[in-house]
Amino acid sequence: MEMTVSVNDNINGTLIIPMVEGTESIPDDCERGLPQSMKAQINKVLNDGDFKAKAKTTLSLVGGEDGKIILAGLGKGDSITVHDFRKAGAAVYGSIKKIHGNDFTVRFIDAGVAHMAAFAEGMMLRDYSYDNYKMKDDEEEDKATKQIRLACSEKEAGDLTSLVEKYQGVAKGVHLSRDLGNCPPNDMYPEEFADRAWEWAKQYDNVEVTIINYDQAIKAGMGGLVAVGKGSSRKPCMIIFEMNKDVKGKCPVLVGKGITFDTGGISLKPGAGMDEMKYDMGGSATVFGTMEALAQTGHKGKVVGITCMAENMPAANATRPGDVIKGLSGKTIEILNTDAEGRLVLSDGLWKAGEFNPEYIIDFATLTGACVVALGHEATGLWSNNDEFRTRIHDAGNAVDELAWPMPLLPAFEKEMTDSKIADTRNLGAGRYGGANTAAAFLKQFVPNVDYDKDGEQITWAHMDIAGTYWGAKSNTMVKNGATGVHVRTMHHLITQG
Ligand code: BES
Ligand code: ZN
Ligand code: ZN
């Protein structure tokens, strides 16, 4: 898709008109360049009640002599937000495929620049398909790039253009996260992810990628990462992304769980639905996607990303339930279930994060089925050791319509996770209940203090469990299917504006 902002009255190709519920006719200021026959057709449809403009609905009027039209519903007029515009834009883009032709003009009725840009953002986000593995279809026309013109006044053009450019950059980050998540696990393994990061960094002067390979991870004492990944022929690695490295001072550090396939290991998962465990690297894709969104939009601040990549396989040399390991932090962990592997790789990633002078650390992980039980596919679980910071992330999520719901970090859960007979900690709670909370409490033990000072204060940290939101969210209009790329937009907002 190519999107441009235009101040002239011409209608190129199919005309798209977003409208609120109850619109009875096309207002005068929307009529410029509109042939009489098209105007009459729209007004008839509206008068007859054949299109009510309910949220996320569209109506295509094709077959007329003077051109084609798509009416896009925004929902009820008195409560309309940028989120409704974004969803309407996505819904329209979803229906565009059925229309022949590649030129479209969007003309808004009395919408502010922020709302117009949100509609455009919805179109961009929905402009995604993962068809690398499908035979290409030979209809030439469908392959041509769609040209979308956003019509606006001269006064609006400058602001709208800069918002559109920003959203284009952020959408690239979301789509990168989705590409990584959707890639089948035979082709997406730790070193492949590392190669992609390495290649990606070459296009930017202000980004550096460092790969800590398997041998280096063993030498460095990354016992958690090694324990999870050693049973696979695809060896584990850790990847460090550094943006604007030379900028002085503290910076956000993002850490991602990157299990490129989670069989459960020796604590093998049941077969049904196991294919979905290719998405278990969603946390690392969120980190990589956020880096892309920031790089694309010319972010000038320092940001660090750390992704902990491993494939969790059963094997003769795999970690066993009962094994005790020691990770980067020096704490020992009794592994009671090899399927609780995300927290093990993250324990090293979180500890490593302390080296980068963090303003705060946020980790992303498809960590627990229990989080999906608690929140379904509607919200990410959000824990933090700092209430104010948790609220900031919650607010950033709300600002971009990616819900992150506050969850409790309680001493009782932490106690449950340190109650091992033979090690400092255990990777499994005492029972089934509160599984997402015990997982968060486990992670907290590996968040370093400022400067690793034994008696110092713990670094501000948040944990986001995206097990329910990284894929399978049917209510997410921005996504047709597969990986959602969730929280790239939240993080871009938090880091650049929050
Ligand atoms: N990757 C899974 C979590 C998961 C499950 C994400 C279902 C999305 C959908 C994770 O590694 C896992 O297996 N967690 C276990 C933890 C348990 C053994 C304490 C779980 O949730 O069952
Ligand atoms: Zn697992
Ligand atoms: Zn997992």
Confidence class for position 97, pLDDT limits 50, 70, 90: confident
Question: Percentage of the chain with pLDDT > 90?
Answer: 90
- Candidate list 343, 390, 426, 489, residue with the active-site label: 343
Is any ligand 1 atom within 6 A of the Cβ of residue 368?
yes
Mean pLDDT of 284-307: 99
Segment 110-134 mean pLDDT: 97
Instruction: State if residue 342 touches ligand 1 by the CB under 6 angstroms criterion.
Output: yes
Q: Which residues pair with 208 in a beta bridge?
A: 242
**pLDDT given at position 146:** 95
Choose among 439, 478, 467, 492: nearest CA to 281.
467
d(CA 395, CA 392): 5
Cα separation, 146 vs 209, whole angstroms: 34
262 lines ligand 1 (CB under 6 A): yes
Tell me which ligand sits closest to the C-alpha of residue 371. Answer: 1
Give the closest residue to 365 by CA, choosing from 443, 427, 475.
443
Query: Would the pTM count as exceeding 0.75?
Result: yes
Cα–chain center distance at 182: 12
Is residue 152 a contact partner of residue 108, using CB atoms and an 8 Å limit?
A: yes
Asked if residue 381 has its Cβ within 6 Å of ligand 1, the reply is no
Q: How far apart are alpha carbons 218 and 363 in whole angstroms?
A: 22
CA-proximal residue: ligand 1, atom 5 (nearest) = 369
Ligand 1 contact, 321 CB (< 6 A): no
Q: Which residue has the higher pLDDT, 495 or 475?
A: 495
Across the range 478-495, mean pLDDT stands at 97
163 lines ligand 1 (CB under 6 A): no
Question: What's the CA gap between 350 and 261, in Å, rounded?
Answer: 21
Question: What is the average pLDDT value for the chain, to the nearest integer?
Answer: 96
Predicted confidence at residue 338, as pLDDT, reads 99
CB-based contact 217:325 (threshold 8 Å): no
Q: Please give the average per-residue pLDDT across 458-467, as a whole number.
A: 99
Give distance in angstroms: CA of 367 to centre of ligand 2.
Answer: 8
**Residue 31 pLDDT > 90:** no
Residue 495 DSSP code: H
pLDDT computed for residue 133 by the predictor: 97
pLDDT band at 422 (very low <50, low <70, confident <90, very high): very high
Residue 29, pLDDT score: 77
- Nearest atom in ligand 1 to the alpha carbon of residue 468 is 8
Task: Determine the average pLDDT of the residues in 366-372.
Answer: 98
Position 47 pLDDT exceeds 60: yes
The reply to whether ligand 1 has any atom less than 6 angstroms from the CB of 495 is no
The full DSSP string for 324-377 is: EEE-TTS-EEE-S-TT--HHHHHHHHHHHHGGG-EEEEEEEE---HHHHHHHTT
What pairing do the DSSP bridges indicate for beta strands 147-151 and 103-107?
A: parallel
Q: Tell me how far apart the alpha carbons of residues 406 and 384 are, in angstroms, rounded to a whole number.
A: 8
Query: pLDDT class for 285, splitting at 50, 70, 90?
Result: very high
Q: Is the CB of 282 inside a 6 Å radius of any atom of ligand 1? A: no
Candidates 276, 339, 346, 425: which one to mutate for ligand 1, based on the most atoms within 8 Å of Cβ? 339
- Site of tokens 């094994």: 323
Dihedral sign of CA atoms 83, 86, 87, 88 in order: positive
Predicted local distance difference test score (pLDDT) of residue 79: 86
Report the pLDDT value the prediction gives residue 462, as an integer from 0 to 100.
99
- What CA–CA distance (Å, rounded) separates 262 from 338? 10
| Pairwise CA distance, residues 349 & 45, whole Å | 58
Q: Is the pLDDT of residue 141 over 60?
A: no
Q: Is 178 a catalytic residue?
A: no
Q: Two tokens at 194?
A: 């590392």
CB of residue 242 inside a 6 A radius of ligand 1:
no
Name residue, tokens 């090293």.
348
Take atom 16 of ligand 1 and give the residue whose Cα is closest. Answer: 340
Residues with Cβ within 8 Å of residue 9, at least 6 apart in sequence? 32, 33, 151
- Which of 259, 368, 416, 425 is the best mutation target for the ligand 1 pocket, counting ligand atoms within 8 Å of the beta carbon and taking the most? 368
Element (H, E) at 490: helix 488-496
- Closest residue to atom 13 of ligand 1, CA basis: 339
Percent of residues, the chain, with pLDDT higher than 70? 99
pLDDT at 142: 58
Could you tell me if the CB of 443 is within 6 A of ligand 1?
no
DSSP secondary structure letter of residue 278 = G
Protein residue with its CA nearest to atom 7 in ligand 1 = 369
Candidates 87, 267, 32, 139; CA nearest to 95 is 87
> Which pLDDT band, with edges at 50, 70 and 90, does 139 fall under?
low
Q: Looking at the CA of 335, name the nearest ligand.
A: 1
- With residue 157 as reference, give the H or E element that holds it: helix 154-182
Q: What's the CA dihedral at 407, 413, 418, 421 to 10 degrees?
A: -140
3-state secondary structure of 309: strand
One of 39, 56, 250, 269 is an active-site residue; which one? 269
pLDDT band at residue 63 using 50, 70 and 90 as cut-offs:
confident
Interatomic CA distance for residues 76 and 66, integer angstroms: 30
The tokens of 427 are what?
């990777």
CA–CA distance, 356 with 374 (Å, rounded to integer): 33
**Cα-to-centroid distance, 315 and ligand 2 (Å):** 15
- pLDDT at 77 > cutoff 90: no
Residue 188 pLDDT exceeds 60? yes
Give CA separation, 27 vs 17, 24, 34, 39, in Å.
11, 9, 12, 10
**Alpha-carbon gap, residue 218 to 392, rounded angstroms:** 37
Which residues place a Cβ less than 5 A from the ion ligand 3? 259, 262, 280, 342
Task: Tell which atom from ligand 1 comes closest to the C-alpha of 438.
Answer: 19
Q: How far apart are CA 253 and CA 237, in angstroms?
A: 18
Greatest pairwise CA separation for the chain in angstroms: 82
Mean pLDDT calculated for residue range 249-254: 98
Compute the distance from residue 163 Cα to the ligand 3 centre, in Å.
37
CA of 343 to the centre of ligand 3 (A): 8
Distance between Cα 188 and ligand 1 center (Å): 20
* Helix runs in 183-297, H state only: 190-201, 214-220, 223-229, 282-296
Q: Using 50, 70 and 90 to split pLDDT, how confident is the model at 347?
A: very high
* Catalytic-residue membership of 326: no
DSSP-assigned beta bridge partners for residue 4: 149
Q: What is the mean pLDDT of residues 330-349?
A: 98
